[in-house]
Amino acid sequence: MNLLFAIDNNVTQQLMTTLYSIKQNSTVEKYSIYVIQDRKLKKSAEIESFCQKLGMHYHPVIINDNQFDDAPTTDRYPKTIYYRLLAYKYLPKNIKRILYLDIDILVINDLKPLYTLNLKDYWYAAASHTALDVTDNINKLRLGNYEAEGYYNSGIMLMDLQAIREHVKADDIFAYIDKKGATLLLPDQDILNGLYGQNIMKIPDELYNYDARMNPLYFAKSNGEWDIDWVIEHTVILHFCGRDKPWRPEYKERFSGLYKHYQHRALKVLL
């Protein structure tokens, strides 16, 4: 299984927590972990040692170009978020498929069914947060892509790298940034949806991109079926979207204890 991350020095521990949760709950035997970074991470040796202890292979992917220097960024959306859009440029050419993951997630069930999904003629697979689907039409209007089935979250994306190499071009991305400018609220996610939304296969968010903030809405949407027991048994990826993050001491939401358990166990791997 090829896994892709794009991080900076602020979230190396979170990366390790995510990797630990994947190893504990997935049936895949071999993992190649590609981590895109602006410059060599300060804890590269620690990450490599951690991966070795989990039986994973760590591949740092250090970017040495300035293509996104002028793209919109904020404290929450640094330049590294754009690298997943052109990941094929930086990855080995023999890789045909890769799963991109944000680091503010836990994998609590088997990731293999998502990774082996038949993409048919789609270039990506991603989830649209159905608890928030009232905003889909607004986003389509804002981005000018009416052919897309929904507005997709870019935090979890299965990528057909062969198709993406053929169709996704840097010039198109930069032209779109120039055209939309300040209207890009979630920069890389808006670009993905605006340019390629119609090429994304929709996967169920309650399984593969469960927004941990929205558990009351999931419960209501399912008429009470998707309670915490259902989530623990069926949901594969818990995504801690938004500003509040589960590694912070003040975080007290429903899945805070679960996250802190995996964080604690991951820290013990390096001892």
- Where do the domains of the chain lie? 2-269
Q: Phi and psi of 6, rounded to 5°?
A: -135, 110
In order of 55, 118, 233, the CA distances from 114 in angstroms are 21, 9, 16
Q: pTM for the complete prediction?
A: 0.90
Does CATH place domain 2-269 in 3.30.1360.30?
no
CA 29 to chain centre: 21
User: Is residue 102 a contact partner of residue 269, using CB atoms and an 8 Å limit?
Assistant: no
Count CB neighbours of 91 within 10 A.
Answer: 19
CA distances from 96 to 18, 28, 91, 160, 200 (A): 23, 17, 10, 6, 17
Helices 44-54 and 256-269: crossing angle, nearest 10°?
A: 90
Per-residue pLDDT of the chain (271 residues; tens, 9 = 90+): 999 999 999 999 999 999 999 999 999 999 999 999 988 999 999 999 999 999 999 999 998 767 677 666 666 666 676 788 899 999 999 999 999 999 999 999 999 999 999 999 999 999 998 655 545 555 555 555 445 556 899 999 999 999 999 999 988 988 888 887 767 777 788 889 989 999 999 999 999 999 999 999 999 999 999 999 999 999 999 999 989 999 999 998 999 999 999 999 999 998 8
pLDDT at 180: 75
Q: Which amino acid is at 112?
A: K
For residue 145, the model assigns a pLDDT of 47
The pLDDT, as a whole number, for residue 174 is 84
Q: What pLDDT shows up at residue 146? A: 43
